[in-house]
Amino acid sequence: MPRSFLLAALVLLALGSVFVSALFGSVEIPVGRVWGALAGSAAGVEGDIVWKLRLPRAAAAFACGALLAQAGALLQVLLRNPLADPYVLGISGGAAVGALGAMLAGAGAVAMGAGAGGGALAVVGIVFLLSFRAGDWNIYRLLLTGVVLAAGCGALVSLLLTLAPEAGVKGMLFWLMGDLSQAQAPLPAWIALAALSALGLAFAGSLNVLALGPLKARTLGVAVLPLQVGVYFTASLGTAAAVLLGGSIGFVGLLVPHALRLLGVTDHRWLLPMCALLGGGFLTLADTAARTLWAPQQLPVGVLTALMGVPLLLLLLPRGR
Amino acid sequence: MMLACAGLEVGFPGRLLAKDLALEIRPGECWGILGMNGSGKTTVLHTLGGLRAPEGGGVKLGGRPIGGFAPREMARELGFLLQDEPGTFWGSLQEYVLLGRHPHAHSLFGWGADDLERAERALGAVDLAGLSQRPLATLSGGERQRARIALLLAQAPNVYLLDEPLQHLDLRHQLEAMEIFRGLALAGCAVAMVLHDTLWASRYCDHVLLLPGDGVALAGPTPELLTRGNLERLFRCELQEYGQGAQRHFLPGAPSRV
């Protein structure tokens, strides 16, 4: 499929996913009125539902999905490992420990966010400090350090779940599975998305060369170490922004880059923007399904991303080159 | 552009592979680097190309210290064929060869007509023109080696450092590759390559660097250095000599520990 057609299709998917998210919910609003509300001509309750409830939620879902998909693509090249996803270096584990610790201490939403942010940033810093050697940053040491720290965080999460009072466990599990029902303020995630997208595009040409290995990349004029450090912090902070907003939403960061590669998009100058569109659109649709399929009960969106993602990837795999 | 070194010490802590090495690889020259496995051929080549720091001495490219070049400027002047490329590349052969144009790229998106044309020409030169849309990962080992050579041709530097450029290639493609490298030297480029076959060194290299691995390297014109005695000491086995002049080559006789 020509890349320009695919790009146009993904733009339509992204816009369509936001429209679908505005259309469906516990209050039934006819298509025409949703359209009117989006155009600014519908006032009153329906306008409020669309503009104050559904669109902020869609914006949060889209930003999360776009961040996770781009971070996944970046880490797969940085770590030279197709199994890498945004959480492989322990960022979600650190955030989970911080958030669950705050929950267990009975803290409110703000303190929980601060706990998650602190945990995520602490892991980003610790992994970097333990693995980095100036002049020779062994990527396998980075990967192993991250995996070991993620395992440690996993054990702490289990401990916190065991110690938590029964009433609090469900909220913790929702957070761990990925949940956008509490995502009220997507603006920081959109700022992170803008920064990650811009930096990703700036890195993209060099990332294509880095895929040949760091030594070959050097012979082709890439300043490898600054690129690796830049990609690490860009992907890590992008992941942290997504985790702060929606918890540990799985599968998007692994599935989306591979789905696009299976469709023949391997050049990072195209892959990264397409990851943003497909990841954002996919998570927006999954979140719409999560809040409407079992209404009024909301499902954790992470469950839906896996349930939708597994068959999609299995469908695409036979097309792989 | 000339690649030169003086007083170069190459090795690892506790083991010096080449000491006080002085070379001048001039435009138009083709050098062969020979030695036993583990004698330091790749290490010397990487040091000459600025990929690793020497233990002593220095390397100059066009009269400038090699460490003073910006990465992209360096890649426009000096191209490297590595022995291994452990990376994972998911794209097509054409996309792969176009990466050779990275040091010359001016645009964030896409490649210019000149880049595409150079890539097509490079693919044609290594007999891969019909496979440009095939994923690189589906090519055979020999085809991938030719793709690596094509990437280097698309890179179009002035100095070529080639680490075992003939590996995985059948006889015909070995010959074609050596003709390409000779063509580059005739066009004014400086070429140095690690070889194992003395026939190719006799036929195509005007200079050789013999690395015995004990630190005392021999460098000079091929007819003077590519002799049975030197090669028997180099490879520590008895050799039989065949042919004369540019056809002179050597094959092992009975193994011994010279």
DSSP codes of every residue in A177-210: H---TT----HHHHHHHHHHHHHHHHHHHHHHHH
Structure tokens at A206: 């060099």
| Domain-embedded: residue B258 | no
What span, in angstroms and rounded, lies between the C-alpha atoms of A230 and A244?
A: 21
Backbone angles phi, psi at B157, to 5 degrees: -80, 180
Verify whether the Cβ–Cβ distance B75 to A205 is below 8 Å. no
Q: Which residues of A touch B51 (CB under 8 A)?
A: 215, 218-219
Number of folded domains that form chain B = 1
**In this prediction, what percent of chain B has a pLDDT beyond 70?**
97
Q: Which residues of B touch A204 (CB under 8 A)?
A: 108
The domain in which residue B204 lies consists of 3-252
Structure tokens at B91: 């794209």
pLDDT in tens, B146-201: 999 999 999 999 999 999 999 999 999 999 999 999 999 999 999 999 999 999 99
Q: Is residue A208 less than 8 Å (CB to CB) from chain B?
A: yes
What span, in angstroms and rounded, lies between the C-alpha atoms of A26 and B181?
A: 71
| Domain-embedded: residue B257 | no
Q: Which of the pair, A183 or A103, is modelled with greater confidence?
A: A103
Listed in sequence order, the DSSP H helices in B25-140 are: 41-48, 71-77, 93-98, 113-125
Pairing of strands B207-211, B218-221: antiparallel
Report the pLDDT value the prediction gives residue B33, as an integer from 0 to 100: 97
pLDDT in tens, B243-252: 888 888 899 8
Task: Out of A216, A220, A267, name the one closest to residue B91 (CB).
Answer: A267
Among all residues of chain B, which has the CA nearest to that of A210? B87
- Examine the pLDDT at B108 and tell me if it is beyond 80: no
What's the count of helices (H) and strands (E) in chain A, helices before strands? 14, 0
What CATH number did the domain enclosing B19 receive? 3.40.50.300
Verify whether the Cβ–Cβ distance B82 to A216 is below 8 Å. yes
Q: Which of the pair, A193 or B90, is modelled with greater confidence?
A: A193
Average pLDDT over residues A68-77: 95
What span, in angstroms and rounded, lies between the C-alpha atoms of A231 and A203?
A: 8
> How far is the CA of B1 from the CAs of A64, A135, B47, B77, B80, in angstroms?
51, 28, 17, 8, 15
What span, in angstroms and rounded, lies between the C-alpha atoms of B34 and B192?
A: 11
Residues A261 and A93: beta-carbon distance below 8 Å: no
From the candidates B69, B90, B97, B136, which should be mutated to test the interface with A, based on the most A CB atoms within 10 A? B90
| Domain-embedded: residue B42 | yes
Strand partners, B192: B31, B161
Q: Is residue B106 less than 8 Å (CB to CB) from chain A?
A: no
- Examine the pLDDT at A33 and tell me if it is beyond 80: yes
Verify whether the Cβ–Cβ distance A213 to B109 is below 8 Å. no
In our burial notation (b when 16+ CB lie closer than 10 A, e otherwise), range B143-180 reads: bbbbbbbbbbbbbbbbbbbbbbbbbebeeebbebbbeb
- Examine the pLDDT at A319 and tell me if it is beyond 80: no
Verify whether the Cβ–Cβ distance A321 to B135 is below 8 Å. yes
pLDDT in tens, A217-245: 999 999 999 999 999 999 999 998 998 88
What span, in angstroms and rounded, lies between the C-alpha atoms of B40 and B56?
A: 15
| pLDDT band per the 50, 70, 90 thresholds, residue A19 | very high
Report the pLDDT value the prediction gives residue A206, as an integer from 0 to 100: 94
| Domain-embedded: residue B132 | yes
| pLDDT band per the 50, 70, 90 thresholds, residue B140 | very high
- Examine the pLDDT at A92 and tell me if it is beyond 80: yes
| Domain-embedded: residue B145 | yes
Average pLDDT over residues B129-135: 93
Average pLDDT over residues A126-143: 86
Give how far A124 is from chain B: nearest CA, Å: 25
Q: Which residues of B touch A220 (CB under 8 A)?
A: 75, 99-100, 102-103, 155
Q: Please give the CATH number for the structural domain made up of A3-20+27-319.
A: 1.10.3470.10
Report the pLDDT value the prediction gives residue A35, as an integer from 0 to 100: 86
**In this prediction, what percent of chain A has a pLDDT beyond 90?**
52
Residues B215 and B18: beta-carbon distance below 8 Å: yes
| Domain-embedded: residue B108 | yes
SS (H, E, C) A157-173: HHHHHHHCCHHHHHHHH
| pLDDT band per the 50, 70, 90 thresholds, residue A184 | confident
β-sheet with B218-221: strand ranges across: B78-81, B159-162, B190-194, B30-35, B207-211, B218-221
Peptide bond preceding A257 in cis form (omega within 30 of 0): no
pLDDT in tens, B189-210: 999 999 999 999 999 999 999 9
DSSP helix/strand/coil, B221? strand
DSSP helix/strand/coil, B90? coil
| pLDDT band per the 50, 70, 90 thresholds, residue B257 | low
- pTM of the entire predicted model: 0.88
